[in-house]
Amino acid sequence: MPVECEEVEGVMDINRIEGKKREIAEAVRTLAGGGILTLTLGHVSWRDEETGNILILGHTHKKDKFLTDITEEDIILIDGDGGVISGNYDPPGEVFIHTEIYRARKDVCSVFHGHPDKCIAFSLANVPMFPVYYRATQFFPEVPVFDYAGQINTKEKGRECAELLGDNAALLLRGHGIITVGQTIQEAAVNAFSAEKNASLILEASCLGEIKPINSKDLHAHRPTSVWPYYVDKYDALLKRSIQK
Ligand SMILES: [Zn+2]
């Protein structure tokens, strides 16, 4: 008996969404293993261009779940305003970071938010975070800073973040953390690793003397995702446990 087209499309859609849930879970574990996501806090999301719906890590922080143990079952599906469509959790309190950036940036399909130490140090100093690292040229000329240390737990605050982010790949939140974006989950995640590395290199180099940013003529557009499998291999705790078995 021939399979109805609609039925096949439905199965394809479910497979596509389930695949993206696994990618988000892998990104969360890897970012947590690499120290970019700290404690039980922070989140990664993906926007489905076909429906406008968003997959995001649920509010697992409420249950004190370690981010190194996140699986696809911890990812929830929400609509473009943050309303839950399906999943085992409420959305994170700062869901508005994600919904408002997606509303403003049609080119962005993934958003990361976390609280890595070196980025927070930069958000506090009156020193611009400019690219000094060849894998951080996407942050040229510098990462803007949102001068607000509270939770981004309203639509208005989310909109302010989106406005200040503009066309940039990252936004520092003073005394709080960083937001990075990308066309893919892997790009947003690698941008988070690259921002923390760039901040760390400036801090180290500043002990040696004056720092010169990368010359703008040496910048070239590059998608940094080629290093993603390296990060997964090094930091994904679930992957490491399955290899050890
Ligand atoms: Zn936060």
The tokens for 44 are: 């990664």
CA of 237 to the centre of ligand 1 (A): 23
CA of 231 to the centre of ligand 1 (A): 23
CATH number at residue 199: 3.40.225.10
pLDDT at 98: 98
CA of 131 to the centre of ligand 1 (A): 23
Average predicted confidence (pLDDT) for the chain = 91
User: Helix %, strand %, coil % for the chain, to 5?
Assistant: 50, 15, 35
pTM (predicted TM-score)? 0.91
CA of 140 to the centre of ligand 1 (A): 24
Q: Beta 177-182 vs 110-114: how paired, if at all?
A: antiparallel
- What gap in Å lies between CA 141 and CA 216, rounded to an integer? 8
CA of 17 to the centre of ligand 1 (A): 26
Domain that holds residue 133: 5-237
φ and ψ at 16, to 5 degrees? -65, -45
Q: Is residue 243 part of a domain?
A: no
Q: Is residue 245 part of a domain?
A: no
pLDDT at 245: 64
CA of 73 to the centre of ligand 1 (A): 22
Structure confidence by residue, pLDDT tens digits, 30-70: 999 999 999 888 999 999 999 999 999 999 988 888 999 99
- Per the CB < 8 A criterion, the answer to whether 180 and 193 are in contact is no
Structural domains of the chain, count: 1
Q: How many CB atoms lie within 10 A of CB 65?
A: 17
How many Cα neighbours within 13 Å face the side chain of 205?
15
The tokens for 61 are: 């922080």
Q: Is residue 244 part of a domain?
A: no
CA of 105 to the centre of ligand 1 (A): 20
- Average pLDDT score over residue span 112-121: 97
The tokens for 155 are: 């639509």
CA of 115 to the centre of ligand 1 (A): 6
Q: How many CB atoms lie within 10 A of CB 28?
A: 28
Which element (helix H / strand E) includes 221?
none
CA of 35 to the centre of ligand 1 (A): 15
Q: Is residue 50 part of a domain?
A: yes
Q: Is residue 163 part of a domain?
A: yes
Q: Is residue 158 part of a domain?
A: yes
CA of 215 to the centre of ligand 1 (A): 32
Structure confidence by residue, pLDDT tens digits, 177-196: 999 999 999 999 999 999 99
Q: Is residue 242 part of a domain?
A: no
Q: Is residue 86 part of a domain?
A: yes
Collect all residues with Cβ–Cβ distance below 8 Å to 75 and sequence separation of at least 6.
Answer: 21, 24, 25, 55, 56, 57, 58, 87
CA of 49 to the centre of ligand 1 (A): 25
